[in-house]
Chain A
Amino acid sequence: MSQDQKKYLRKIKINKFIVLLIQLALIITFILMWEYLSTKEIINSFIFSSPSKIIKCLYDLYLNNNLLYHIWITLKEIIISFLLGFLIGFILAVIFYMIPILKKIFDPFLTLINSLPKVSLGPLLIIWLGANTSSIIVMSLLINTIVTLISIYNGLISTDEYKIKMFKTFKATKWQILFHLVIPHNKETIISSLKLNISMSLIGVIMGEFLVSKAGIGYLILYGTQVFNLNLVISGIILIMFISFIIYLLINTLEK
């Protein structure tokens, strides 16, 4: 390796390190400032809480055997709605791609459902399905399925026309075109729809937990609001951020 190449690689490494360092410094500064302002009562520590109070709150929850239970409940709902939402969205996208007239028929209905604020369906879901996990999962599915369907469908129809034509020159069947070309061609679109789906599932599950739950992080946040325990509310929000980040990292690893 030449000296110039080594220099170039070192420059990239240093750049990466600087970005990471600044990111960490920003987080640490934010936490320290927050703690300082709260301890000195410059900001109202009852409303804004503080990092130390949040850590204590999470630790107390852990000691009461509640923390992992609530995380598990939310995680379970996210995983179920994520997998179901992706599967249903993907299958529908493929069906619409294979039978274009179906897409034309359902297009206005999809737009209608997509533009509807899903939370407005909450009371109906509770009456139809009961105040249980099913309502939470269906709420999440309403949000993530259509987004997955639309993003995957848009990817499928934008498959390179020349490549499709090349397949047709070899008398490929529709299924061969789908499995050997269209799906592999859209690997990146499918992965980015997974990323989109995971954040939508999270939104849906928390929204659902706000409406009907008896456990889960959404429940903790709602309960915290009702009893004006803002340490609990902010702890819940931080837990959601953490879960979302971990799942995002997992999908990124899968992508690589």
Chain B
Amino acid sequence: MNNILSIKKLKKKYHTLNGEILAIKNISLDVNEGEIIGIVGSSGCGKSTLLNILADIDKDYSGQIIKKQIVSAYMLQSDALLPWLNVLDNACIGLKLMHKDNEDNINYVKNLLESFGLKNFIYEYPNNLSGGMKQRVALIRTLAIKPDIIFLDEPLSALDYVTRLTITDEIYAIIKKMKVTTILITHDIAECISFCDKVVVLSKRPAIIKNSYEIKLKNKTIPSLNRKDELFNYYYDLVWSDLDK
């Protein structure tokens, strides 16, 4: 597999009036093309900080991040849809900001919306959508710029449990269909194991990689069914014991 992203000895400090806070101590990680990697850790351990660095939002770090000429996109915890724009305009906002909102790309987004069950909602406003639909639009907005890699920062944390399970399956289907390399950040171990090919466990702050596991379920299908796999509990216990230490 082709290596798409390489993180070497990443370190991140915050400066406050009371002194320095080390958020990330030492993280090295290789990400291969098409892989879905889950990063799990307790709240406040530095997961989102890591993602901000990978997505170029935070450029104040030491260490090395080697990226190929890739387009990356980021999906946040909140859907962050703009209430004054309709679904199509919301989904195209990234294209517009990057000056790529030509007819071909807009049609591409329309097709994405149609193929992911939003055909009848293209000209609706976010207020008229359910929480799950909003997250789908947010994902399509992320995918609209045709990224090589996407970063998902607890994208479903705002949803109720049942919607979350359904949407996890849908997002998984979309990502697999589009063969996009994905890094998912979550504190939900079950979500991480059922969704990802590889799970990386982070320690409490300052973050280091405690362990990483290739998830080899007996019958890997969609996330909601993966939770019923024989080996699911085995991986769950491994990750849980890492986090519990």
Q: Please report A residues at the B interface, Cβ cutoff 8 Å.
A: 160, 162-163, 165-172, 176, 180-181, 184-185, 187
Contacts and interface: CB of A to CB of B under 8 A. Distances in A.
B96 interface: yes
14 contacts: A162-B80, A163-B82, A166-B80, A167-B97, A169-B74, A169-B76, A169-B94, A170-B73, A170-B145, A171-B97, A172-B97, A180-B97, A181-B82, A187-B84
Contact of A169 (B73, B78, B82, B84): B73
A162 B98 contact: no
A187 B83 CA distance: 12
B56 A171 contact: yes
Nearest to B73: A169
Contacts of A184: 82, 84
Nearest to A176: B97
Interface residues of B, number: 17
Query: Which label, helix, strand, loop or mixed, suits the secondary structure of the A interface?
Result: helix
B65 interface: no
Contacts of B97: 167, 170-172, 176, 180
Contacts of B93: 170, 180
Given A169-B55, A169-B74, A169-B76, 15 more contacts: A160-B80, A162-B76, A162-B77, A162-B78, A163-B80, A163-B82, A166-B74, A169-B73, A170-B98, A171-B56, A171-B98, A180-B93, A180-B97, A184-B84, A185-B82
B56 to A, nearest CB: 7
A149 B71 CA distance: 39
Nearest to A166: B80
B57 interface: yes
A176 B76 CA distance: 19
Contacts of B78: 160, 162
Given A170-B93, A176-B97, A165 B57 contact: yes
B98 A169 contact: no
A167 B80 CA distance: 9
A9 to B, nearest CB: 21
A169 B57 contact: yes
Contacts of A163: 80, 82
Nearest to B78: A162
Contacts of A167: 97
Given A162-B77, A180-B97, A187-B84, A168 B57 contact: yes
A165 B98 contact: no
Interface string B44-78: 00000000000111000000000000000110111
B91 to A, nearest CB: 12
Nearest to B74: A169
Nearest to A173: B97
A111 B80 CA distance: 34
A185 B81 CA distance: 11
Query: Which of A162, A165, A167, A168 neighbours the largest number of chain B CB atoms within 10 Å of its CB?
Result: A165
